[in-house]
Structure 1
Amino acid sequence: MATRHQAERFALALTTAAGPLTILADVLGLLDEVAPNGVQMVTLLILSSVTVFLLLEVRRFEVLDRVERRLATLALDERERYGGVQRVHPEFPTTRVKALVRQARTEVSVLQTWMPNLDVLKEDLEHVLTAPGCVEVRILLLFPSSEVADLRREALRDMPTASTPVNVKDAIENNLDCLARLRAGLPTDHRGRLKVRLYNSLPSMAVYRADETYVVSSFLHAQLAISSPQTEIEGCDTARGAEVEKELDTLWQIGKDVELTDWRRSVGAMSFVRASV
C-alpha cells in the first residue's frame, strides 16, 4: 500500500509539472523537434494520465461512500439505542428552554404541579404567543384543591432550600393569576392560543416541550422538579419521546379548561369525581 501511495504521489507530481514544462518547451521551440503538433500531443498525454489517475482513485471514493453510509446508520442506531435522549442536565436548563420556547414553530407544552419558574419564562411565552404564526401554548397544572396537592406539599415539607414550607395550593393559584395577566396583555386575536387546564391526577413527570424537544424530570421528595436532573429528549417518534407525548395527551384529555378571564370562578366551579391514578 505504501509503494502504491508513493507511485501515486510521483505520478501526480509529474503530471502537475508537465503543464509548465510543456509551455516552456513550446516557447523555446523544442516541441517542433518532437512533432508539428507537439502541444496538442502533450496535452492529450497529460489528460490521459489524469484520467488514469482518477480511475485508480474511484475505488477509494467508493470506500469513502461506504464509510459515510455506515456513519449515517450508526447515528440512527444511536438514536434508537437511547430512545431519543440527547443529554441529561444536572438541573433545569433555563437558557436552553427559553431559547427552545422562543424558536417554537408549532407548540409549547408544560406539564407541572405548578411552575416555580413561570416568572422566568413569562417573557418567552409572551414572545411566542405574539409572534407571527400559530404556535399554541398548552399548560397543565395540578388542581389546587386536589388531595395530590396536599401530598405534594408534604413531600416538599423538608426541602432544605425552602425557608418556609411550600404551599402548593397557593403556588398553583399564583400561577393562574400570572397566566391570567399574561393572557390579558395579549392581542385579542392571539388570546385563544394560550390554553390552560387543571388535572386531578397523580403527577408522573414534569415536562417542558417545544415542538419535538422535551425536557423531562421527576417529582422527588424534598426537592422541586426543576431542581432535579433534567433529561432532554428529541423526537416524538422515539421511544422516550413517544412515551412523554402520550402522557401529555392523556393528562390533557382528563384535564379541565380554566377560563382565565375569571379563573377563581372557573376553578371554583370545577368538580372531579376522584383523583386519577
Structure 2
Amino acid sequence: MGSGIRYRVERIALALMATAGIVVLLADLLGWLDKLAPGGALPKITLLILSTVTLFLLLEVDRLKVLDHVNTQLSKLDIDAVARDLKQEHYGGVVQVHRHFPEEKFTGLVEAAGREVTILQTWVPNLHWFSSALRKAIVDRRVQVRILLLHPASPVARLRDEALRTVRDPALDEDVKASVERCLSILESIFREVPEGDRARLQVRVYNSLPSVAVYKADEHYLVSSFLHGQLAIDSTQIEIDGGETVMGRGVQKELDMLWRVGCDVDLRDWRASVNTISL
C-alpha cells in the first residue's frame, strides 16, 4: 500500500475513533449511556481516555509521518559507496595490513581476476603457490599476465644478496641470480603448458634497476611490500590496496608502469638465450 493511501486510511480510522469517543461523551451527558449500560462508569472512563489519546494521535500524524521520510532517505543511501569513499579519502585505498604475504588470498584474487595480473619482484619465491592459478587465468579467462623480474646478471642482484645476508645465518643465504633463473624456468613451463594461441598473454620482462617495492596485482587489487635488509619481501609486512584510482594505488601503479617501460622482453621459448642477449 502506498504511503499516501496508508496515511489517508490512518486519518479516517483515527477520526472515526475520536468521533466515537465524542459521541459516547455526549451520550453520557444526556443520560443515554446509563440507559444503555447502567452502572458502566469504568467503560465510560476508558472510552474517554481512549478518545483523548486518539485525538492526540490524530493531531500528531503529520509529525509521525516525518519518520517515514527519514527512513525513505536512509534507504536511498548507498552505505557501501559511502564507506568506500571514506576509505579512499582517509586511507588512500589501504584496506588491510598483513604480517606476511597471504598466499591463499592472492591465489584467490588471481582466480577471480578478469583482466590483468602483474607481479613486480626481484624474483618470486612463492611462484609455485599460484602458478596453476596463473595458467588457468591465461587460458580460461584470457587474463593478461605480466611478470617483472630483476635481470639475473644485474649488479643489483649482488647488492640484494648482500642485503639478505647482512643479518641472516649464512646457511639461509639466498642466491638472487639462481632464484631469478628458477622463476624464469617455472614461467617457461607455464608458457609451454598453455595452448599456443594463449601464450602471448604471458609476458615476462627483466629490468636492471633498484626496485622500491614488491607488488602483486590482480585487477585493481594490490599487495605491496618493501625490500628490507635480511628479509625476503614476502616475509615483510604486506599493504593491501583496493583501487587503482586511490592515492596509494596510483603511486604503486606508476612504479609498475615505469619499470615495465625500462624492462626488456624475455622470449620464454628459450629464456636463457633471450636473457643473454639483453645488454645491461
Q: Give the TM bin, normalised by the shorter chain.
A: 0.7 to 0.9
Q: Which residue of 123, 136, 142 corresponds with 1:127?
A: 136
Match of 1:261, SS state, is: coil
Query: What CA distance in whole angstroms lies between the structure 2 residues aligned with 1:261 and 1:57?
Result: 75
For 2:89, what is the secondary structure of its paired residue?
Answer: helix
Query: Which ranges in structure 2 are unaligned for 5 or more consecutive residues?
Result: 1-9, 18-57
Is 2:192 aligned against 1:184? yes
Identical-residue share of aligned pairs (%): 44
Q: Are residues 75 and 117 of structure 1, via their aligned partners in 2, closer, same or farther at CA, if it must alter by over 3 Å?
A: closer
- The secondary structure found in structure 2 opposite 1:259 is coil
| Counterpart-to-counterpart distance in 1, 2:61 and 2:148 | 62
Q: Residue 214 of structure 1: which of 222, 226, 229 is its match?
A: 222
Structure 1 gaps, min length 5: 1-10, 19-50, 273-277
Match of 2:38 in 1: none
Aligned with residue 260 of structure 2, among 252, 271, 275: 252
Matched residue, 1:157: 165
Match of 1:103 in 2: 112
Structure 2 counterpart of 1:194, one-letter code: L
**Distance across 2 between alignment mates of 1:249 and 1:54:** 62
Q: Secondary structure at the match of 2:179?
A: helix
Q: What does residue 241 of structure 1 align with? A: 249
What residue number does 1:225 align with?
233
Q: Does the CA-based 8 Å contact 2:87-2:94 persist in structure 1?
A: no
- In 2, the alpha carbon distance for the partners of 1:254 and 1:57 equals 67
| Residue 98 of structure 2 corresponds to residue 89 of structure 1 | yes
Check if 1:114 corresponds to 2:120: no
SS at match of 1:247: helix
Structure 1 residue 52, shift from structure 2 partner: 9.3
Contact 2:119 2:148 in 1 (8 A): yes
**In structure 2, C-alpha distance between the alignment counterparts of 1:220 and 1:106, rounded to whole Å:** 31
- TM-score, length basis structure 1: 0.75
- Residue type matched to 2:231 in 1? Q
Matches of residues 188-207 of structure 1 in structure 2 within 5 Å? 188-207=196-215
TM-score by structure 2 length? 0.74
Tell me the distance in 2 between the aligned counterparts of 1:213 and 1:75.
Answer: 14
Which deviates more from structure 2 when the two are superposed, residues 227-236 or residues 72-81? 72-81
User: Helix, strand or coil: the match of 1:60?
Assistant: helix
Equivalent in the alignment of 2:180: 172
Query: Residue deviations 1:118-141, cap 9 Å, x none?
Result: 11111111111111x321000000
Taking the aligned partners of 1:103 and 1:78, their CA distance within structure 2 comes to 23
Amino acid of the structure 1 residue aligned with 2:111 = R
Secondary structure at 2:87 match in 1: helix
Following superposition, the deviation at residue 117 of structure 1 comes to: 0.2
Tell me, in whole angstroms, the C-alpha distance in 1 between the residues paired with 2:194 and 2:154: 30
CA shift for structure 1 position 64 = 3.6
Cα distance change on mapping 1:55 and 1:118 into 2, 3 Å: same
How far residue 53 of structure 1 moved from its aligned partner, in angstroms, is 8.7
| CA-CA distance at 1:160 after TM superposition | 3.8
Which deviates more, 55-64 or 133-142? 55-64
1:2-21 mapped onto 2 (5 Å cutoff): none
How many residue pairs were aligned?
227
2-structure distance, mates of 1:188, 1:114: 25
Partner SS state of residue 233, structure 1 = strand
Q: Give the stretch that moved more between structures: 153-162 or 95-104.
A: 153-162
